Amino acid sequence: MAKERSLSPQARSILGTQVSRRAVLAGAGGIGAAGLLAACGGGGSSSSGGDATTVRWGNWPLYLDFDEDSKTYPTLVKFSEKTGIDAKYFEDYNDNDEFFGKVQAQLKLGEDIGYDVVTPTDWMAARWIRLGYSQKYDAANIPNKVNILDSLASPSYDLNRESTLTWQGIMGGFGWNVEKNPKGIRTLDDLFAPQNKGKIVVLTEMRDTIGVILLGQGVDINKVTEDQFMNAVDFMAKKISDGWIRGVKGNEYAEDLTSGDATAVIGWSGDMFILASENEGKFDFAIPESGGTISGDNLMIPSTASAAGKANAEKMINYYYEPAVAAEVAAYVNYVCPVKGAQAEMEKIAPELANSEYIFPTEKTASRLNVFRSLTPDEETKWAEAFQQAQGN
């Protein structure tokens, strides 16, 4: 059994000196309301359609290197300087389902949705492809495609990566307040320990929350059956009604940890990494003993993008698959970097991070991360319904 790893002291110290990603978020505790965060996006969505010299990218908040002083995205600025393409960046991807709900009607009618690149998570990318809402890449425009990590090169929904490339990988596991949980959290029993009663927050992302619970129950989430899934949902519902779990939330679980309203969470590696560095090691993260989840957000071109918008989008995707650029992004966002060669580039800009298990997982670590199997449309609806009802919806 691999020894459980937490953030190394070096990683903590180097992160302590980095630009604070979380500081940007301070006060902006997102809720599910659509479009709230749209206002925070860069640019301004005045352009109604794509034109020849722009590319419009919808991405999740705090998911691209950002310079506090100049209020710009350095890698994106460099891309624009290099190519002359005006990159409009919108941080309005708050939730997969919600984003889909906002644009689905337009996609169906073939009307411009206002983006040339979107960033859905694996399972949602699968849905877009199934429904014909995405466009295949022109492979000649993305020579850097070969740089994708072998482990990510052929997902079930896009075997040859013809219309998606991973933006960042996300690990799901346990996060905790070190003062309240001095021994750390490695198992479900550790999570549901008396000191955390009523102060546990889990993720709204079904595949991460139920995935971690299922793995804790010894179920292989790559082959999970409906009975096993419903059993895990019942487990969660019981923990909610018995007052163990305080809330089911998106990114804002991080604020609950800092405010002391939560002491233990099922959370994401990158968030916890930042929290730990900004609070002098008050928080920590680990992949559960029984295994954690891994998923990816994908760069994808919607079916409604114009030919020019598509070509520009491909140039941009190619640019972000250059190892040096990928390293620069990873140094800021701290999620799993999908690009080969980025680790070597990271040695040059932030050597301490080059050894981070959470940005560049070793094979041993990677073997402990599990992918939730893809669901049929029927299952998708039924399982989501059960998961929502368990949270009182």
Partner 1 sequence: MSFPKIRVPYLLLLPGFAFLFTFFILPIINLAQTSTQTPIAGGDTGEYEQTLAFGNYIQAFVDNKEQFGRSFVYATLATIFALAIAYPLAYAIAFKSGKFKNILLVLVVAPFFTSFLLRTIAWKQILGEEGFVVPGLRSLHIIGQQTTLTSTSVAVVAGMTYNFLPFMTLPLYASLERIDPRTIEAAGDLYANGITAFRRVTVPLSLPGVVAGTLLTFIPAAGDYVNAAILGSPNTKMIGNVIESRYFKIVDYPTAAALSFTLMAAILILVTLYIRKAGTEELV
Residue from 1, 3, 17, 27 binding partner 1 (CB under 8 A): 27
Residue 352 is a binding residue for partner 1 (CB under 8 A): no
Chain-centroid distance of CA 121 in Å reads 7
Residue 31 is a binding residue for partner 1 (CB under 8 A): yes
Which of these segments, 91-99, 156-164, 329-337, 353-361, binds partner 1 (CB under 8 A)?
91-99
125 in Cβ contact with 146 (< 8 Å): no
Report the chain's C-alpha Rg in angstroms. Answer: 20
Residue 110 is a binding residue for partner 1 (CB under 8 A): no
Residue 104 is a binding residue for partner 1 (CB under 8 A): yes
Helices (H), the chain: 9-16, 21-25, 74-83, 96-109, 122-130, 188-191, 206-216, 226-241, 253-259, 269-278, 307-320, 323-333, 342-349, 351-354, 363-366, 377-390
Distance between CA 213 and CA 221 in Å, rounded?
A: 10
Distance between CA 186 and CA 176 in Å, rounded?
A: 10
Residue 95 is a binding residue for partner 1 (CB under 8 A): yes
Residue from 23, 146, 344, 384 binding partner 1 (CB under 8 A): 384
Q: Which residues, including other chains, have CB under 8 Å from residue 139's CB and lie 6 or more apart? A: 145, 162
Which parts of 315-334 interact with partner 1 (CB under 8 A)? none
Return the sign of the alpha-carbon dihedral for residues 85, 297, 96, 269: negative
229 in Cβ contact with 372 (< 8 Å): no
Residue 52 is a binding residue for partner 1 (CB under 8 A): no
As measured in angstroms, the least distance from the Cβ of 336 to partner 1 is 25
Q: Identify the three-state secondary structure at position 169.
A: strand
Number of residues that bind partner 1 (CB under 8 A): 39
Residue 35 is a binding residue for partner 1 (CB under 8 A): no
Q: Give the alpha-carbon dihedral of 224, 231, 271, 321, to 10 degrees.
A: 20
Residue from 19, 36, 139, 146 binding partner 1 (CB under 8 A): 36
Which of these segments, 16-24, 27-35, 85-93, 285-293, binds partner 1 (CB under 8 A)?
27-35
Residue 109 is a binding residue for partner 1 (CB under 8 A): no
343 in Cβ contact with 360 (< 8 Å): yes
- Toward partner 1, which CB reaches closer, 245 or 333? 245
Question: How many degrees, rounded to 5, is the angle at CA 17 between CA 14 and CA 18?
Answer: 90
- Toward partner 1, which CB reaches closer, 72 or 388? 388
Residue from 9, 32, 49, 110 binding partner 1 (CB under 8 A): 32
Which one, of 100, 116, 102, 107, lies nearest residue 49 by Cα?
116
Which of these segments, 65-73, 168-176, 283-291, 376-384, binds partner 1 (CB under 8 A)?
376-384
Residue from 240, 294, 305, 336 binding partner 1 (CB under 8 A): 240
As measured in angstroms, the least distance from the Cβ of 385 to partner 1 is 5
Residue from 34, 38, 230, 324 binding partner 1 (CB under 8 A): 34
Residue 45 is a binding residue for partner 1 (CB under 8 A): no
Residue 194 is a binding residue for partner 1 (CB under 8 A): no
Which one, of 221, 213, 210, lies nearest residue 386 by Cα?
210
- Toward partner 1, which CB reaches closer, 332 or 387? 387
Q: Which residues make up the interface to partner 1 (CB under 8 A)?
A: 27-29, 31-34, 36, 95, 97-98, 100-101, 104, 127, 130-131, 198, 204, 240-241, 245-248, 259-261, 377, 380-381, 384-385, 388-393
